[in-house]
Structure 1
Amino acid sequence: MKKMLLATALSGGFMSSAALAQETQQDEIFVTAQRREQSPQDVGVALNVFSGADLIAQGTRNINALENFAPNLEIESQFGSGQPSFSIRGVGFRDYATNNAPTVGVYVDDVAYPIPVMTQGVLFDVERVEVLRGPQGTLYGRNTTGGAIKLISAQPTDDFSAGAVVEGGRFGRVDAEGFVSGPVADTIRVRLSGATSQGGAWQTNRETGEELGDAEQYALRGIVSVDLAPDVEAIFNLHGFIDQSDGLGLQLFNDSAFGPLAHERRETSWGSSPEFSALTGISQTQSPFRDNEGWGTSLTVNAGLGGAALTYIGAYEVLNRKEFNDFDALTLGGAGVFFQSSADVMSHELRLSGETARLNWVGGVYYSQEDLGELYQSDFAASFGPGFAVTTPYNQNVRTMAAYLHGEYELSPLVSVIAGLRYEDEARKLRDLGTFAVATGPLNFANGSNDFTLENRDLNSDNLSGKIGVELTPADDVLLYAHVSRGVKSGGFTAYNTLNPNALTPFAPEKLNAFEAGFKTSFGDVIQLNGAAFYYDYKDQQVQSAIYDAGTGAVVGRIVNADSEIYGAELEAVLTPSPWLTIGQTFGYKSGEFTEFMDLDIAASTLAGMEVLTDRSGQDLGFPNISYQGYVETQTQIADGWSARARFDYSYRDTLSLPLLGPAYAVGDYWLANAQLAFGPDDDRWELALWGRNIFNADYDETRNFFITGGAADIAAPGMPATYGARVSVKY
């Protein structure tokens, strides 16, 4: 298939004006979505790829911002916390707890980050990011139902190079990153990079005028590449980060039952009860904050074995998290929560791959061990009465073992077949979970008694998943593909505050059977058009709900399983009608409904004193149906040896209806638009850019909910207002 950079733009890598056109027309971004280097147009998978320059131009400093540039992708911080929820094509999992696996796998340099909160560091010095849509598992260490996001760090270079980017913006925000790379010996290459983000407080306390939203983040990474032998390379990666930023202040979108309050877009509030302050040591007037740090190391060894290649990846990642959030946006302590988490993940992956004239294959084994210890404390004084400051500690251990095999065989120059298989065995152990409330005595466990006996739960599962498909290449610039795949997401535990042990009954793994067909085409250097359509048969989808405990007559919040179906399509196009103009458009559509879900009617069950179920079959799943992204980029010579570039990009997200909460908590649709003007010399030594983000100052929320019964505090996680600033990039 014809290889050209325009292909990468269509695949989602919106070309950055941070890179000079003269260079980008010669260099193509390759992807490793199928464990080998390929042009995105040669991969029969729906994917997007963004270069490091793209991320800088888009202002993407955190993985969550990718949702504005890839179709059918949503990344939602849970009520403004550091716990993200990833969703691709409507396959997502909303859970503010730390202990459960995501539906979308996140990989950094081929190392899986199975605890979602571990993904929230600064995004810097990146070679590229790949977003893969659909179940993954026959090529990766982890198994997922929604898709995968791969971050690939920039690697050490054979020649000396260095660079830096400094950006200043509205509200006093400053972001900076830099790197130094090159050889230190004939067989050793080193790359050192770092980044920091400072300032940017854009919210105010409506009672006191105190500002909120300052960033204080630091990150470092060192990569050493060593040639151990002519066909053996070892790559050692050591990295770490510190995040002492302010948290996000939630916004009241209705008048509170505690009195009418102003709703100016950037206003928020916070506060804690005396009991919560005494329990945690956090001041009653303390604003939301993060005090997180993490570090990790990995060793990758690549060895050529004649007709095959052997790869070993060993990694160890550590996260220490302290995070205080106020989930009611009131001063009286109705739903404050303080997370103290300690997590470490150890993993090993051994992979063997090979290629012949007609066959590409890869097989591997994977092992990981996750250890999570968490203590979270909740302030329910305004919800349940004075004294309800609650502590819930627990520990969770997860052991995962897997083996996978994937092959692609060319039957003829026209037809290739693809098949993959994966077996996974997992053991999850929840230990020492209890709930202790100040108001109900010195100690009380989840069973409601005062016995200091902590609850333990085990969940053992083994699953088979796989993929089979066909690819057709009727012409050099045309790829047609169709495949059926099955993905599995781990089961888990509802590790929330509870006075009932039935809340800890594990929920089952979810299974997704995916049917997809698509095409990738090029029409010379002028037009590229890619598309895909899919249908998902979703079994045991994990859903936030509740159960009724007949023994105690209590309604107990718990994650449960339901069946559903999802279908949709994506269409992506890039037009280059002239060398100075590029236009890119992406459109995503998805729709889904429950096919079998007997859900608890909480109000009716409470009133009747018995279990009352409601049939939600046919009810919409509530995710945004339409996503739309686009950009227009121009470039021109302004003088001999000097170029100027302009870019305008925009994105649309449809209504988020949240039907299980009711219509009052629907999040309206919104548009975001960004603009940039940049100029610099053609030798790419430096560049100056002026930018604006959310330039039309769209008023939007990320999500909505309530945390005090009776509608006393309806809250929303607000989006950023308009920002603008300048950026200087230098390169040697």
Structure 2
Amino acid sequence: MVHRARRRPSRRQLCHAGLTASSLMLAVPAALAQAVSPPASPASAAGVLQTVTVTAERRTENIKDVPSSVSTLSGEKLDVLTSGGQDIRLLSGRVPSLNIESSFGRAFPRFYIRGYGNPDFRANASQPVSLVYDDVVLESPLLKGFPIFDLSRVEVLAGPQGSLFGRNTPGGVVKLDSVAPEIGAVDGYGSLSYGTFGTANVEAAKSFAFGSAWAARVSMLYQHRDDWVNNTHAPGPTRRTEGYDDRAARIQLLYKPGSDFSALFNAHGRSLDGSARVFRANIIKKGTNDLVDGFEPNEFSTDGRNEQRITSYGGSARLRWIFGDYALNSITGIESVHTYSRGDIDGGYGASFAPPSGPGFIPFPSETAGALHGHRQVTQEFRVESRYAAPLNWQAGVYYFNEKFISDSYGYNSLGGGAQTSLLTDTQKSTSWAAFGSLKYDLTPALSMRAGLRYTKDKKELVSNAAAIPLGSQVNGTSAELSDSKPSGDISVLYKLSPATNVYARIATGYRGSSVQPAGLFGPQSIAGQEDTVSYEAGIKSDLFDKRARVSFNVFHYDVKNLQLTEVGGGGNSNTLKVAKKATGQGFELNLDAYATPNLLLTASASYNATKIKDPNLVVAGCGGGCTVTNPSNGAGSFFIDGNALPNAPKWIATVTGRYAIPTASGGEWFVYTDWSYRSKVNFFLYESVEFTGKAYTEGGLRIGYLWNDGKYEVAAFARNITNKVVATGGIDFNNLTGFINDPRTLGLQFKTQF
């Protein structure tokens, strides 16, 4: 069945989406979208920064009192970033040291903190940066693309989190917290935005109160974009692409009969019908990292099919009992995701041996798809914490993780009408359990110490089978059983120089369990053993000028032993695990918020990350063709990568925002908000080459609007990627200079209301 082009929604369709939201929220006006920031408090209106609280150490604390690098996004900052209909990748570069990329479009985001991540695209890939959504870890990269909406805050915890979060967190944690229902609260919001390419957002949330012990909150999101990229090759099964319909909803129910017990239940789901990433053959100019002359972002040429579907759903129960000086917490989570994503990997049409073909050199056709089904993730944590009014407090608990899934990899013959030619099926089961504890001790009123320890036991089983593959003999019946056990933890000290200024130092360790890469058409199964990390960090956090400004600054260094790397593509067109004896990273991170005047709020953040692979004997295959590798060759088609930076690890990340308010005599407010982010150049692959080096990239946004009725209503015009800069943000090492690009400029209008 041909994948049909996505059409711009009519006014009737938009109204229908709004009515659906209305029935769901009961009181939401006809068509609403996008989160609304709460009205400015009297303190912030007077030009004084509000206290930022975080739960980075599983307790609610002032961010200044947490002895580690924690950056946050909330309120208007999040609202502005989501106005253009982007997915979770919008967080990339918005806080120090965070980079996010994907070769799957709105699915399968890959996170990097301090340059430390994993570009592996297989369904069973493990990442050293963990995503925790409403206290439940989302292990599968396909779960990590769940949309962000109705959030109270985003916390980015840099460096190993080996005691309180555990496995697969040596790079850090991205922590998302939804707005939770509260007893007696009946607030809500809603908004509608519409922009270029038919980009529409419908987002709304409503809290409900049921007597003195029950409360609920319902949140929903609908995002749409037209297919705006035209296929210039005819006949092609996919005529237009790069659009999407993305729907998500969350229902939370709170039971709190008194101060000693609470139960928060969460059910959520997502349905995405969209496009896989569009790969474009030979778009990089040889000898440079420029796009070819005459490149048109809204055109591509392919004889393959492009489609992507994701369905995910899950639930959690967070229970809390208070027994005097102690509290018992139980967090139960279950998640499931099902996907199918198909695209034309060669990025063009035909082949050199089957003309016509193009654009440029197409050595042979490659059209593939990946599917995940039978997925289930179950997690359970029990944690006891002390609540002493004393210098010593502690936490201790146990954790269990179980995941299983079936992953299918398909091959198709683009020259033969898209007929299926191969199927690889991998079944994986993973279990993990851990025991952990941490303590905080105030040695003096000014000096405190924290320490944590965790012991984790992991087990992973993989079985691979193949059908209709000429090389099936290297796949059928291959299997692997991996087992790891590892203690990890951290120790830190914090000293209060003054009531407004704290300094700290921290040493932390983390680890990533062993990984297995299934056998495929072009390579056998590969295995990489356990990866270990140790990090050193010191910093300062301070409120300045009577809380009109806030600054945090830290320096860090980390060492990774037996780093797991993924060799993708190359002359052998393989996807193989490699192990580097060592890798290092070091740098600094800075956050600054300040009211320059009572009506002008400025924020800035920056980070420097110098990463390096250290293994003089490690070689990887060079590009299949077309690129200029700058690493020394071993004389047999491979290249030494000792000294290279880690892939997708920019040295510099920086962002600045500014908001200027102009109050009116009628009590309203005009405002101008702008935000700009910068990311320096990156290597797309393990080897270094001129062509596959991503250009430095700056993206800006602008928002101009009016608030009235005490902030209850807002209307604004916005622009994302305001300079309309177009760059390659990733490449496909497929015997030609194939790549993919960033999102286009989006202009639009938005109306928001609170009730």
- TM-score after normalising by structure 2: 0.85
Matches within 5 A, 1:167-178: 167-178=193-204
Do the aligned residues in 1 keep the contact of 2:509 with 2:535 (CA within 8 Å)?
yes
Matches within 5 A, 1:145-294: 145-157=170-182, 158-207=184-233, 210-254=239-283, 263-272=295-304, 286=305, 288-294=306-312
Alpha-carbon spacing, 1:117–1:597, altered in 2? closer, same or farther (3 Å)? farther
> 2-side partners of 1:24 and 1:137: how far apart?
37
Alpha-carbon spacing, 1:243–1:601, altered in 2? closer, same or farther (3 Å)? closer
Do the aligned residues in 2 keep the contact of 1:79 with 1:704 (CA within 8 Å)?
no
2:164 match: 139
Do the aligned residues in 1 keep the contact of 2:212 with 2:257 (CA within 8 Å)?
no
2:437 match: 405
Instruction: Give the aligned residue type for 1:471.
Output: L
Alpha-carbon spacing, 1:472–1:395, altered in 2? closer, same or farther (3 Å)? same
2:131 match: 106
Aligned pair partner of 1:643 in 643, 666, 669: 669
Do the aligned residues in 1 keep the contact of 2:606 with 2:653 (CA within 8 Å)?
yes
Q: Deviations over 1:339-373 (max 9, x none)?
A: 11022101100011113321232111100100011
Matched, 1:531 2:553: yes
Q: Is the partner of 1:639 in helix, strand or coil? A: coil
Report how far residue 255 of structure 1 moved.
Answer: 7.5
> 2-side partners of 1:672 and 1:612: how far apart?
38
> 1-side partners of 2:460 and 2:101: how far apart?
26
Aligned pair partner of 1:329 in 340, 347, 352: 347
Instruction: Give the aligned residue type for 1:528.
Output: R
Report how far residue 528 of structure 1 moved.
Answer: 2.1
Do the aligned residues in 2 keep the contact of 1:215 with 1:244 (CA within 8 Å)?
yes
> 1-side partners of 2:623 and 2:206: how far apart?
64
> 1-side partners of 2:740 and 2:412: how far apart?
19
Matches within 5 A, 1:29-68: 29-59=52-82, 61-68=86-93
Alpha-carbon spacing, 1:468–1:336, altered in 2? closer, same or farther (3 Å)? same
Do the aligned residues in 1 keep the contact of 2:403 with 2:430 (CA within 8 Å)?
yes
Matched, 1:571 2:590: yes
Do the aligned residues in 1 keep the contact of 2:386 with 2:395 (CA within 8 Å)?
yes
Instruction: Give the aligned residue type for 1:201.
Output: D
2:379 match: 347
1:508 match: 529
Aligned pair partner of 1:21 in 40, 43, 48: 40
Matched, 1:415 2:447: yes
Q: Is the partner of 1:167 in helix, strand or coil? A: strand
Alpha-carbon spacing, 1:406–1:610, altered in 2? closer, same or farther (3 Å)? same
1:8 match: none
> 1-side partners of 2:744 and 2:73: how far apart?
25
Report how far residue 51 of structure 1 moved.
Answer: 1.6
Q: Is the partner of 1:621 in helix, strand or coil? A: coil
> 1-side partners of 2:438 and 2:616: how far apart?
35
Alpha-carbon spacing, 1:496–1:205, altered in 2? closer, same or farther (3 Å)? farther
Q: Is the partner of 2:107 in helix, strand or coil? A: coil
Alpha-carbon spacing, 1:228–1:19, altered in 2? closer, same or farther (3 Å)? closer
Report how far residue 30 of structure 1 moved.
Answer: 1.9
Q: Deviations over 1:200-243 (max 9, x none)?
A: 43322233594322221111111000025540111111111111
Do the aligned residues in 2 keep the contact of 1:170 with 1:200 (CA within 8 Å)?
no
Matches within 5 A, 1:469-508: 469-495=492-518, 497-498=520-521, 503-508=524-529
Aligned pair partner of 2:314 in 296, 299, 312: 296
Matched, 1:582 2:601: yes
Matched, 1:701 2:706: no
Structure 1 runs, 4 residues or longer, greater than 6 Å off: 380-383, 608-613
Alpha-carbon spacing, 1:147–1:382, altered in 2? closer, same or farther (3 Å)? farther
> 1-side partners of 2:93 and 2:623: how far apart?
40
Q: Deviations over 1:258-287 (max 9, x none)?
A: xx9962123223323xxxxxxxxxxxxx3x
More deviation, 198-207/480-489 = 198-207
Do the aligned residues in 1 keep the contact of 2:283 with 2:739 (CA within 8 Å)?
no
Q: Is the partner of 1:395 in helix, strand or coil? A: strand
Do the aligned residues in 2 keep the contact of 1:604 with 1:612 (CA within 8 Å)?
no
Q: Deviations over 1:352-397 (max 9, x none)?
A: 11133212321111001000111111347789xx999332111000
Alpha-carbon spacing, 1:187–1:196, altered in 2? closer, same or farther (3 Å)? same
Q: Is the partner of 1:630 in helix, strand or coil? A: strand
Report how far residue 577 of structure 1 moved.
Answer: 2.2
Alpha-carbon spacing, 1:643–1:555, altered in 2? closer, same or farther (3 Å)? closer
More deviation, 359-368/491-500 = 491-500
> 1-side partners of 2:75 and 2:296: how far apart?
36
More deviation, 520-529/212-221 = 520-529
Do the aligned residues in 1 keep the contact of 2:181 with 2:207 (CA within 8 Å)?
yes
Q: Is the partner of 1:598 in helix, strand or coil? A: coil
Identity %: 23
1:12 match: none
> 2-side partners of 1:635 and 1:390: how far apart?
60
Matches within 5 A, 1:535-574: 535-545=557-567, 557-562=575-580, 563-574=582-593
1:664 match: 691
2:140 match: 115
> 2-side partners of 1:546 and 1:163: how far apart?
45
Q: Is the partner of 1:412 in helix, strand or coil? A: coil
> 1-side partners of 2:643 and 2:312: how far apart?
44
1:319 match: 337
Alpha-carbon spacing, 1:304–1:141, altered in 2? closer, same or farther (3 Å)? farther
Q: Is the partner of 2:349 in helix, strand or coil? A: coil
Report how far residue 445 of structure 1 moved.
Answer: 2.8
1:725 match: 748
Alpha-carbon spacing, 1:577–1:497, altered in 2? closer, same or farther (3 Å)? same
Do the aligned residues in 2 keep the contact of 1:255 with 1:261 (CA within 8 Å)?
no
Instruction: Give the aligned residue type for 1:454.
Output: G
> 2-side partners of 1:337 and 1:295: how far apart?
26
Do the aligned residues in 2 keep the contact of 1:62 with 1:120 (CA within 8 Å)?
yes
Matched, 1:371 2:418: no
> 1-side partners of 2:622 and 2:439: how far apart?
52
Do the aligned residues in 2 keep the contact of 1:17 with 1:645 (CA within 8 Å)?
no
Q: Which runs of 5+ in 2 are unaligned?
A: 1-34, 287-291, 351-363, 625-632
> 2-side partners of 1:314 and 1:55: how far apart?
28
Do the aligned residues in 2 keep the contact of 1:545 with 1:600 (CA within 8 Å)?
no
Alpha-carbon spacing, 1:598–1:434, altered in 2? closer, same or farther (3 Å)? farther
2:3 match: none
> 2-side partners of 1:24 and 1:728: how far apart?
26
Report how far residue 413 of structure 1 moved.
Answer: 1.5
Report how far residue 427 of structure 1 moved.
Answer: 0.3
Instruction: Give the aligned residue type for 1:180.
Output: K
Instruction: Give the aligned residue type for 1:586.
Output: S
2:700 match: 673
Q: Which runs of 5+ in 1 are unaligned?
A: 1-15, 273-285, 549-553
> 2-side partners of 1:597 and 1:378: how far apart?
37
- TM-score after normalising by structure 1: 0.87
Report how far residue 485 of structure 1 moved.
Answer: 0.5
Quick one: higher RCO (CA 8 Å, sep 6+), 1 or 2? 2
1:97 match: 122
Q: Is the partner of 2:61 in helix, strand or coil? A: coil
Do the aligned residues in 1 keep the contact of 2:567 with 2:620 (CA within 8 Å)?
no
